[in-house]
Structure 1
Amino acid sequence: MTRPDESDPSVAVVGGGAFGVTVAHDLAVRGASVTLYERGAVADGASGRAAGVCYDAYADRIDAAVGDRALKRFREFSGTGDFRFTDCPYVVLVRDGDDRRAEAVREGVARMREHDREVSLVDPDDLATEFPDLRTDDVALAAVARNAGYTDPGAYTAAMADAAREAGVEVREGTPARLRTGDGTGRDDTGSPRVETEAGSERYDAVCVAAGAHTRRVLADADLAVPLKPYRVQALVTDPDPVTDRVPMAYDATGGYYLRPREGGLLVGDGTEPVERDPDDWVRDADDWFVADCAGYLETALGRSYPVDRAWAGLCTATPDGHPLFGERAPGVFVAAGWQGHGFMRAPALAERMAEQVLGGEGIDAFDPNRFEGDEEFPIVEGMALD
C-alpha cells in the first residue's frame, strides 16, 4: 500500500457505504490523501441492505447519463474480489385498469428514448413469449429496459473498500465522526474543516459527508441544515427455486413492488413506509404484514408463492424534490445523500463525479444542496413510484 505525500490534498470521507468507499477510492487514485470514517463496519448500513437492482431507465437526462455511467463502472469492476455483476432485463408492468400509470409509463419511455436509452414498450403477448414465467394475463402495458442488471451490494462495497485501501485510503471502522462546530461551517480558524472522533480532532482540506440516514445529524453538528428524511423500506429473499433463473428483474407499477433473482431465489421489495424515522431507533426486521403481502405479490407476478428464507428492513433518505443533495454545502464541506432508494445503483458514477468536484471540478447544478434553505417541510414520496 502506498500513501500520498504531505503535499497532496487531504480529504475525509464520512460514511462507509457504497458511495463512501467509491468516492474514497476515486479521490485516492486522483492523488488525494484520504481517510474514511465509518461508525460501524463497511456496508453495515443501507448499502448492505440494498436490493442491487441497476439500470439507466430514467426519464430525466441527468439521471439517465448517471445510470449509464454507473452500469459501465459496475461491469468494469465485476470480477474484483467476490463482486459479480449480472446483466438482466428490467421490466416495468402496469395492470389492467391502471390507466394513469400506463400513461406515465408511455410518457416515461418516450423521454428515455430521447436520451438514447435502450427501453421500449412491449406487447403483453410478446412479453409472455420472452419471459414465460411471468404472469401476464392481466398486464395492460409493459416496458423493457435492456441496459440493466443486478448484483450483491454488500459484495461490491466490500470489494471497493479493499480497492480503496490498496489505493492508499485509511479506513477507520468503528469510528463515529462529526464535523467541528463553532462558526456554522464546520471549519476552524485556519479556514479548514475538521473531523472530531473520540481519538481527537483532525483538520482536512475537504470533508465529504456520505453517512446515509445519519448525514443530517453529522452536518447539524456544524450548524449546516439539510432537508433530509430517513424512511423505512423492506425486502425479503425466498428459498431457491429453478424458476428464478428465468425471471427478469421486474417492477409492478400497479402493485408497487419489485423482484429480481437472488441467491437462487427471488428478492422481493416493497414495504415502503412514508414516515420519518430516527436513524438510531428503527425496526430492522421486516414486518409480518409485509411478508404476508409478498406471498400475494408473487401470486400476481408468477402465479405462485415461495417459502421465505429471510426478510429485513432498511433506511432510505428523501428530499423535497426527489433529487439527491450532492455537492458543496459550505466551503470545503461536501454532501452526498438523499438517494430516494436509488443510491447504490448510481454510486459508481456519482462518486466519480464527486471526487472530481472535491478536487476542483464541476458539480451537478440540479443536485446542488444549496438549492434548499435546509428547514423545508415536505412529504416523503417513494422513489420508485410513478405517481
Structure 2
Amino acid sequence: MDEFSDADDDRGAGRSIAVVGAGAVGLTAAHDLAARGAAVTVYERGDVAGESTGRAAGILYDAYAEDVDARIAGRAIERFRALSGTGGFEFRETPYVWFVTEPGRKADAIRQQVDGMVRNDRRVERVDADDLAAEYPALRTEDVVEAAVSRNAGVADTAAYADAVAELAVAEGVELREGTAASVALDPPRVNGDAYDAVLVAAGAHTARVLADAGVSVPLKPYRVQALTAGFSGEIPTLYDATEGYYARPHPEGVLAGDGTEEVEADPEAYDRDGDDWFVDAMRERLADRLPGFEPDVHRAWAGLCTATPDRDPLLGELADGLYVAAGWQGHGFMRAPATGEAIAAEILGGEGVPAFDPTRFDGDEVFEVVEGMTVE
C-alpha cells in the first residue's frame, strides 16, 4: 500500500470498473478503487492532465464555511500532503489571503465566512492591512478594508499531481488507456462495447456530452477562464482580491494570476485555449497595482474550462444503475480532487458517498445561468 492510500480492505475484489477521464478526480478514483482490489481501466482520449487539470491554477485551501465543503477540502489537503514527495509532486505550504478594498456587502461576507469557518475548525482568522503589510511587505495593503487568512493552505503543480497519482494507480494494477476516446452505454454499463460492473464519467467539460451519448442528461455547462504567469521576485501568499475579482499565487516563474471568467457556456471542442490580449493587459495593471516593483514581464497566458451546475455544487454520485458521475466543480475541482475522487470510489464500492452532491437532485434539463465559482458573497 502506498502512502497516498489508507486502504485497509479489499471491497473491490472481483469488480471491474471503467473510469472515463484521466484528470485529477478520475485518476484519484481509479487509484483508490484499485487499491481496494478492483480491476480498473481508465479511458482518456488525450493525455493524462491534458485538459482542465493541466490548466488549473493549483491553489489549495480548506477555507470553507459550509460543513460539507470544509470536510471535503480538509481531507483533500491531508492527501495532498501525504502525496508530497512522490514523483515530481510537491505540496508547498502557502497561506491563502482574501480581501476587499471597499466596505459593504462583500466585507460583511468575509466576516460571516470567517465565523462559519471557525465553527468548522478551520485555521482562519481576520487580519487587517497592517497585519498583511508586516507579514508580506511585497504587497500593497493600505486600501484593504477587510481581510482574512487561511493557514491550512498551499499551492501545487497540477500536472505533477496527476502524473504522480497515475504512476501509483498503474502500480496498483490500473490499465491506463491514453489516446482512447470512450463511448458509454448502459444496461449493462459499457465503454466501447466492453461491459463493466460500474462506469465513472469524470471527463471534465466533456462530461455532459459523454453522458448524453449514453442517453443521460445532466445540468452541466462548461465556461472559459484564463490565467497567466509572469516574473516576480517578492514573497506573496496566495491572494484573492474579491473587489476586483482576481487571484494570484507564488509560482516557480514568479507569479501565477487569473481571472478572465466568461459567464457564458463554452464549447469544449472549439474554445480559444490562448489568453486574450484584454485579459493580459488587465492582469498586468492589477498586479502592478498590488505588487509594487512588479515588472509587466508576462511569460505565458492560457485559457481552460470549468464546469457549472445550477446550484454551484458538484455532481458526484450514481446517475443510473452502475453509472456514476464526478463533475461540475465551479473552478474548485483540482483543489478537492484527492477527497472527491476518494468519495466517489467509496460510493462505487458500496459507501455512502456525499449525499449533498447526489446528482439525482436534478432532472438533467434545468435551465440556469453560468456563475463564476470564485466569489465572495
TM-score when normalising by structure 2? 0.95
What are the equivalent positions in structure 2 for 1:21-100 lying under 5 Å apart? 21-95=27-101, 97-100=102-105
AA aligned to 2:197 is D
What are the equivalent positions in structure 2 for 1:204-283 lying under 5 Å apart? 204-239=196-231, 241-243=232-234, 246-283=235-272
Q: Is the 2:288–2:296 contact (alpha carbons within 8 Å) kept by the matching residues of 1? A: no
What are the equivalent positions in structure 2 for 1:89-238 lying under 5 Å apart? 89-95=95-101, 97-180=102-185, 186-187=186-187, 192-196=188-192, 201-238=193-230
5+ residue gaps, structure 1: 181-185
Q: Is the 1:46–1:316 contact (alpha carbons within 8 Å) kept by the matching residues of 2? A: yes
Residue by residue over 1:81-110, the C-alpha shift from the partner in whole angstroms, topping out at 9 and shown as x without a partner, is: 011110010000110x34111011111111
For 1:346 and 1:160, locate their aligned partners in 2 and report how far apart those are by CA, in whole Å: 14
For 1:137 and 1:115, locate their aligned partners in 2 and report how far apart those are by CA, in whole Å: 30
Q: Is the 1:260–1:266 contact (alpha carbons within 8 Å) kept by the matching residues of 2? A: yes
For 2:320 and 2:13, locate their aligned partners in 1 and report how far apart those are by CA, in whole Å: 23
For 2:137 and 2:67, locate their aligned partners in 1 and report how far apart those are by CA, in whole Å: 33
Q: Is the 1:98–1:254 contact (alpha carbons within 8 Å) kept by the matching residues of 2? A: no
1:331 aligns with 2:326: no
**Alpha-carbon shift at residue 242 of structure 1 (Å):** 2.3
AA aligned to 2:233 is P
Q: Is the 2:48–2:178 contact (alpha carbons within 8 Å) kept by the matching residues of 1? A: yes
TM-score when normalising by structure 1? 0.93
For 1:277 and 1:345, locate their aligned partners in 2 and report how far apart those are by CA, in whole Å: 22
**Alpha-carbon shift at residue 7 of structure 1 (Å):** 6.2
- SS of residue in 2 equivalent to 1:274: coil
**Residues 7 and 17 from structure 1, CA distance in 2 versus in 1: closer, same or farther, beyond 3 angstroms?**
closer
Q: Is the 1:52–1:150 contact (alpha carbons within 8 Å) kept by the matching residues of 2? A: yes
1:285 alignment counterpart? 274
Residue by residue over 1:263-296, the C-alpha shift from the partner in whole angstroms, topping out at 9 and shown as x without a partner, is: 1410001000001011101000000000000011
Q: Is the 1:324–1:336 contact (alpha carbons within 8 Å) kept by the matching residues of 2? A: yes
Moved over 3 A (4+): none
For 1:98 and 1:151, locate their aligned partners in 2 and report how far apart those are by CA, in whole Å: 33
- SS of residue in 2 equivalent to 1:149: strand
For 2:275 and 2:107, locate their aligned partners in 1 and report how far apart those are by CA, in whole Å: 30
Residue by residue over 1:10-31, the C-alpha shift from the partner in whole angstroms, topping out at 9 and shown as x without a partner, is: 0000000011111100000011
5+ residue gaps, structure 2: 1-9
Q: Is the 1:296–1:305 contact (alpha carbons within 8 Å) kept by the matching residues of 2? A: no
For 2:208 and 2:59, locate their aligned partners in 1 and report how far apart those are by CA, in whole Å: 26
**Alpha-carbon shift at residue 8 of structure 1 (Å):** 1.2
**Alpha-carbon shift at residue 75 of structure 1 (Å):** 0.5
Q: Is the 2:229–2:253 contact (alpha carbons within 8 Å) kept by the matching residues of 1? A: no
For 1:119 and 1:7, locate their aligned partners in 2 and report how far apart those are by CA, in whole Å: 42
Q: In percent, how many aligned pairs have the same letter?
A: 58
Q: Is the 1:49–1:314 contact (alpha carbons within 8 Å) kept by the matching residues of 2? A: yes
Residue by residue over 1:195-234, the C-alpha shift from the partner in whole angstroms, topping out at 9 and shown as x without a partner, is: 11xxxx1000000000000000111111111000000000
Q: Is the 1:242–1:264 contact (alpha carbons within 8 Å) kept by the matching residues of 2? A: no
- SS of residue in 1 equivalent to 2:142: coil
What is the RMSD computed on CA atoms of the aligned residues?
1.2
What are the equivalent positions in structure 2 for 1:367-386 lying under 5 Å apart? 367-386=357-376
